[in-house]
Amino acid sequence: MGEIEFRLPDIGEGVVEGEIVIWHVKEGDVVKEDDPILDVMTDKATVTIPSPTDGKIKTIQGKAGEMLKVGQVCIVFEVEGGHSIDNSEEKIEEVIEQKEQPKEIKKEPISTNKPAQQIRKKGERVMASPAVRKKAREKGIDLASINGSGPGGRITHLDLDSWKDAGSPVAAAGITRTALSGTKEIPVIGLRRKIAEQMSKSYSNIAHFSYFEEVDVTNLEELRVYLNKNRSESQPKLTYLPFIMQALVKALSEHPQCNAHYMDEEEKVIQFEAINLGIATQTDKGLFVPVVKNVEAQDIWESANEMIRVSSAARDGKATMNDLQGSTFTITSLGKMGGLGATPIINHPEVGILGVHNAKETPVVIDGRIEIRRIMRLSSSWDHRVVDGWDGAMLVQTLKNLLEHPATIFM
């Protein structure tokens, strides 16, 4: 038998280290070549490292949350014969996927079936240990109402739990509430750590200010419904977001200082001609911001198709590096959750972000009379270091006018 020391390979793009997200193997496991052995998260992506050989896992180095440097031994294999491995020839499958959420600690369900109990005669003394009596007092349970399953009819802890869970008069009446004291430690690693770092960097470095507005989208809703009824089979069903994306093309073109990056270290602002819109997407494994690029060159159907593509790829863990980079401005939508307002955190190094809330029927006063209109709320945040309050507010007002007169979006 020989041994192979496998070192963390050069993942490319200037990456010098990565964080261990999850081990797919443990010491003693037997693996085949190309079996996944380790997920490593870099500043670029999460990468699945495959096994370079058939063999048995002798040792592994590091645990989830720890950092590995490129070239550092991360695993030792026992193999037949023994030979060296050139990491540069290894097949590294880049899987641009979200971090696995920390696994829930499973608790065995408490049976709702009462154990076989010995029926206590009327007036017979209740048999129970001091601990059971204390627990019954804390839960507000009358021990006299329970028949014990222990020796001689003694009431056990299981009797208390099964009695309460099975719907005892005490539990059904809601007379008592149980005090809980358990905790669960969830390591902040992988994608969750990256999100935490990015949010902390953004909130700490950027002087946020927020601006809110209401938009009457009654006419926009009529147009949306009409277009959806008359679309072809190849055209996607339109939500509000593609209209907002198209309206932002015009609004950001009129207010180019809002379509920019502020580079902290260089102390300069880079304004972009291209409108690359990040679409904040909540997935089962965390928040991703896939990007719809060059929206200015797309019609509304193309924008909708591309938004669906990159958002679905993010949710399914299939987004590429190109899908996740290059945004110049970000939209975050709370969808049906709605809400009255929010203070979205800017996606650093961008200088602005737009929050979109749900649209709902609302009574409003028009020319002295009350009408029911479809109202949508918008929340925005801006980097006050480079975007003055007037500029941020004016962009939102431009967007409002476009959405309230949707024909102008396409003129």
Give the closest residue to 14 by CA, choosing from 49, 46, 42: 42
Please state the pTM of the whole predicted model: 0.64
Average pLDDT over every residue of 368-388 = 96
Residue type, 278: G
Of 165, 384, 391, 405, which is the active-site residue? 384
For the ranges 13-17, 239-243, 265-269, 350-354, which has the lowest average pLDDT? 13-17
**CATH number of 206-410, picked from 3.40.190.290, 1.50.10.10, 3.30.559.10, 3.90.1150.10:** 3.30.559.10
| Mean per-residue pLDDT of the chain | 83
What is the CATH topology of the domain spanning 106-183?
A: Dihydrolipoamide Transferase (4.10.320)
Q: Is 255 a catalytic residue?
A: no
Identical fold, 106-183 and 206-410: no
Radius of gyration of the chain (CA): 30
Provide the CB-side half-sphere exposure for 123 (13 A, CA).
0
pLDDT for 254 equals 97
Give the closest residue to 49 by CA, choosing from 19, 78, 29: 19
Say what percent of the chain tops pLDDT 90. 45
pLDDT for 109 equals 47
pLDDT tens across 32-63, in order? 888 888 888 876 567 788 888 888 999 998 88
Q: Give the CA dihedral 191, 196, 202, 205, nearest 10 degrees.
A: -130
Of 142, 264, 299, 388, which is the active-site residue? 388
The top-level CATH class assigned to 2-94 is: mainly beta
**Would the CA dihedral through 390, 394, 395, 400 be positive or negative?**
positive
Give the closest residue to 208 by CA, choosing from 265, 289, 268, 262: 262
Max avg pLDDT among 15-29, 37-51, 65-79, 397-411: 397-411
Max avg pLDDT among 13-27, 58-72, 95-109, 120-134: 58-72
Q: Where are the domains of the chain?
A: 2-94, 106-183, 206-410
DSSP 126-178: PPB-HHHHHHHHHHT--GGG----SGGG-B-HHHHHHHHHTT-HHHHHT----
Q: Is 383 a catalytic residue?
A: no
Percent of the chain that is helix, strand, coil (3-state, to 5)? 30, 25, 40
Q: How far apart are CA 271 and CA 259, in angstroms?
A: 6
Please list the residues that pair with 376 across neighbouring strands.
Answer: 215, 359
Q: Are 151 and 159 in contact (CB under 8 A)?
A: no
